[in-house]
C-alpha cells in the first residue's frame, strides 16, 4: 500500500478505501516507509520511550523499606506524599503487596519416626446414643429391665 501511494499508483484516499482504513493511517504508514523502508513497517511496542512522571528509584526504595517494616499502604502514602494507588502499584511490582509476601509463614513442624507405625492417629467424634449402643446380643444375660431392646429414645416435644 505505501509503495503504491509513493509510486503514484493510488492516492491516499483511494488506498484508504481499498484497504478499509482511514487516510490518517495511510499517511502514517507512507511516512514510516519513507523513513525506514520495509523494516520500519514491522510491529513495534506501543510503550512510550520516556515516562516523565515515573517514580524515581529513591522513592521506590523508600516505599519498599517502609513496607518491610510492616507499614500499611495508606500510611506509606501519607509519609511519602504520593497517592495510595501509586504506592499500591509500586508494592505490586516489588511483590510486597500482601503481608504474607513480607514475612512468609513458617513451615509446619511434622513429627517423623524412625520405624513405621510409630505414631497412632485416633479420630474421635461425638456420637449419638442410638449409634453408640452395643448390639442386643451382647446383653442377653442382663436382667429384663436393663435390656437395650426396652430402651426407647424419643425426641423432646417443643
Q: What is the pLDDT of residue 157?
A: 45
- Cell output for 17: 478505501
Q: Are 6 and 34 in contact (CB under 8 A)?
A: yes
- Among the residue ranges 7-11, 99-103, 117-121, the one predicted with the least confidence is 117-121
Q: Tell me: the pLDDT tens digits for 48-81? A: 888 888 899 999 999 999 999 999 999 999 999 9
> Comparing 117 with 51, which gets the higher pLDDT?
51
Instruction: Return the C-alpha torsion angle 8, 10, 11, 16, nearest 10.
Output: -150
Mean pLDDT of 90-110: 85
Residue 94: pLDDT band with limits 50, 70, 90: very high
Q: What is the pLDDT of residue 10?
A: 87
Residue 93: pLDDT band with limits 50, 70, 90: very high
Indicate the DSSP class of residue 122. -
Residue 117: pLDDT band with limits 50, 70, 90: low
> Comparing 79 with 6, which gets the higher pLDDT?
79
- Identify the burial level of 114 via C-beta atoms within 10 angstroms of its C-beta, where 0-12 means exposed, 13-18 middle and 19 or more buried: exposed
Q: What is the pLDDT of residue 150?
A: 44
Q: Is the pLDDT of residue 126 over 70?
A: no
Average pLDDT score, the chain: 78
Q: What is the pLDDT of residue 79?
A: 95
pTM of the model: 0.43
Amino acid at each position: 500500500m505505501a509503495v503504491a501511494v509513493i509510486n503514484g499508483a493510488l492516492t491516499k484516499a483511494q488506498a484508504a478505501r481499498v484497504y478499509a482504513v482511514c487516510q490518517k493511517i495511510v499517511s502514517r504508514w507512507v511516512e514510516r516507509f519513507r523513513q525506514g523502508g520495509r523494516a520500519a513497517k514491522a510491529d513495534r511496542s506501543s510503550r512510550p520511550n520516556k515516562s516523565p512522571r515515573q517514580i524515581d528509584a529513591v522513592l521506590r526504595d523508600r516505599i519498599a523499606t517502609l513496607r518491610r517494616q510492616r507499614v500499611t499502604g495508606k500510611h506509606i502514602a501519607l509519609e511519602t506524599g504520593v497517592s495510595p494507588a501509586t504506592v499500591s502499584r509500586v508494592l505490586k511490582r516489588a511483590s510486597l503487596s500482601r503481608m504474607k509476601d513480607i514475612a512468609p509463614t513458617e513451615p509446619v513442624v511434622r513429627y517423623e519416626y524412625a520405624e513405621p507405625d510409630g505414631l497412632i492417629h485416633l479420630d474421635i467424634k461425638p456420637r449419638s446414643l442410638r449409634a453408640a449402643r452395643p448390639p442386643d446380643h451382647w446383653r442377653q444375660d442382663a436382667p429384663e429391665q436393663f435390656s437395650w431392646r426396652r430402651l426407647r429414645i424419643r425426641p423432646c416435644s417443643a
